[in-house]
Chain A
Amino acid sequence: MIVQLKPSSGAHVGANNSVSHIMWQVMLALSPATAFGLLCFGWPALNLFVITVLSAVAFEALCMRLKGRVAKPVIMDGSAVLTGWLLAMTLPPWAPWWIGVVGSGLAIILGKQVYGGLGQNLFNPAMLARVALLISFPIEMTTWANVSPLFFSHSPGLAESWHITFSGLDNIDANTGATTLGFIKTEFSQNRLLTDILKDTSGFLSFIGGTRGSLGETSTLLLGLGGIWLIRQNIIQWQIPVSLLLTVALLAGVFHTMDSEHYVSPLLHLNSGALMCVAFFIATDYVTSPNTSTGQLVFGAGCGLLIFVIRTWGAYPEGAGFAVLLMNSATPLIDHYIRPRIYGRDRKGKPLEIPKS
Chain B
Amino acid sequence: MLSLFKKPRFRGGVHAEEHKTATAALPIASDFPLPKKLYIPLQQHVGKPAEPVIMVGEKVLKGQLLAYSQGLISAPVHAPSSGIIVDVNDYPAPHPSALPIRTIVLETDGKDEWMAISVVDDPFQLNPEEISFRVGAAGIVGLGGATFPTAVKLNMGRENHVDTLIINGSECEPYLCCDDRLMQERAGEIIDGVRLMLHGMETEQAVVAIEDNKPQAYVAMLAAAEPYAQIKVIQIPTRYPMGWDRQLIRYVTGKEVPVGCRSSEVGVTIHNVGTAYAVHKAIRLGQPLLGRVVTVAGGAVKRPMNVEVPFGTLISELFEFCEVDKEQTARIIMGGPMMGDSLPHTGLPTVKATSGILALTKSELKNTEEQPCIRCAGCVSVCPAGLRPLDMANNIRINQLDAAVDLGLKDCISCGCCSYICPSNIPLVQFFKYASGEVIARQQAQHKSEQTKRLIDARNARMERIAQQQREDELARIAAKAERERLKAEQEALV
Chain A residues in the interface with B (C-beta under 8 A)? 1-5, 7-15, 17-19, 21-22, 77, 79, 117-120, 237, 286-287, 291-293, 335, 339-345, 349, 351-355, 357
Contacts and interface: CB of A to CB of B under 8 A. Distances in A.
16 contacts: A4-B331, A7-B341, A12-B366, A13-B16, A13-B366, A15-B16, A18-B367, A21-B423, A77-B371, A118-B371, A118-B372, A118-B374, A119-B374, A120-B372, A335-B391, A343-B411
Nearest to A5: B344
Contacts of B86: none
Contacts of A77: 371
B256 A343 contact: yes
Contacts of B337: 10-13
Nearest to B11: A343
Contacts of B188: none
Contact of B376 (A1, A22, A345): A22
Given A292-B377, A354-B258, A11 B419 contact: yes
Given A22-B423, A118-B374, A343-B256, A354 B265 contact: yes
B333 interface: yes
Q: Tell me the interface secondary structure of chain A in the complex.
A: loop
Interface residues of B, number: 80
Interface of B: 11, 14, 16-17, 96-97, 174, 246, 250, 255-261, 265-267, 316, 319, 324, 326, 329-333, 337-347, 358-360, 364-368, 371-377, 380-381, 383-388, 390-391, 408, 411, 414, 416-417, 419-425, 427, 429-430, 433
Contact of B338 (A4, A13, A286, A355): A13
Most buried by B among A13, A17, A237: A13
Nearest to A120: B372
Given A19-B423, A345-B411, A352 B258 contact: yes
Contact of A291 (B250, B330, B375, B424): B375
Given A22-B376, A342-B387, A354-B266, A13 B364 contact: yes
The 4 A-B pairs of least Cβ separation, nearest first, read A14-B366, A11-B416, A291-B377, A10-B416
Given A2-B346, A10-B429, A15-B420, A293 B381 contact: yes
B146 to A, nearest CB: 15
B386 A341 contact: yes
Contact of B429 (A11, A286, A352): A11
Contacts, number: 191
B233 to A, nearest CB: 25
B331 A12 contact: yes
A11 B420 contact: yes
B264 to A, nearest CB: 11
A333 to B, nearest CB: 14
A340 B419 contact: no
A165 B372 CA distance: 36
A269 B375 CA distance: 30
B319 A2 contact: yes
Contact of A344 (B174, B411, B422): B411
A10 B259 contact: no
B339 to A, nearest CB: 5
A355 B255 contact: yes
Nearest to B422: A14
Contacts of A352: 256, 258-259
Contacts of B390: 291
Contacts of B16: 11, 13, 15
B411 A1 contact: no
Contacts of A5: 344-345
Contacts of A237: 381
Residue of A77, A120, A344 with most chain B CB atoms under a 10 A cut-off:
A344
Nearest to A3: B345
Given A17-B423, A117-B372, A344-B246, A12 B347 contact: no
Contacts of A286: 374-377
Contacts of A291: 375, 377, 380, 388, 390
Contact of B424 (A19, A342, A343): A19
A13 B430 contact: no
B425 to A, nearest CB: 7
Name, among A1, A21, A293, A341, the residue most crowded by chain B CB atoms within 10 Å (CB to CB).
A1
Contacts of A1: 316, 345-347
B372 A119 contact: yes
A243 B374 CA distance: 22
Given A18-B367, A19-B371, A10 B338 contact: yes
A118 B426 CA distance: 14
A17 B382 CA distance: 15
Contacts of B429: 9-11
Given A18-B367, A343-B411, A12 B342 contact: yes
A58 B96 CA distance: 45
Contact of B427 (A9, A22, A353): A9
A344 to B, nearest CB: 4
A339 B326 contact: no
A99 to B, nearest CB: 28
Given A2-B329, A77-B371, A357-B267, 16 more contacts: A4-B345, A9-B419, A10-B340, A11-B338, A13-B17, A17-B423, A18-B425, A21-B423, A22-B423, A342-B386, A342-B408, A343-B11, A343-B386, A344-B261, A351-B259, A353-B258
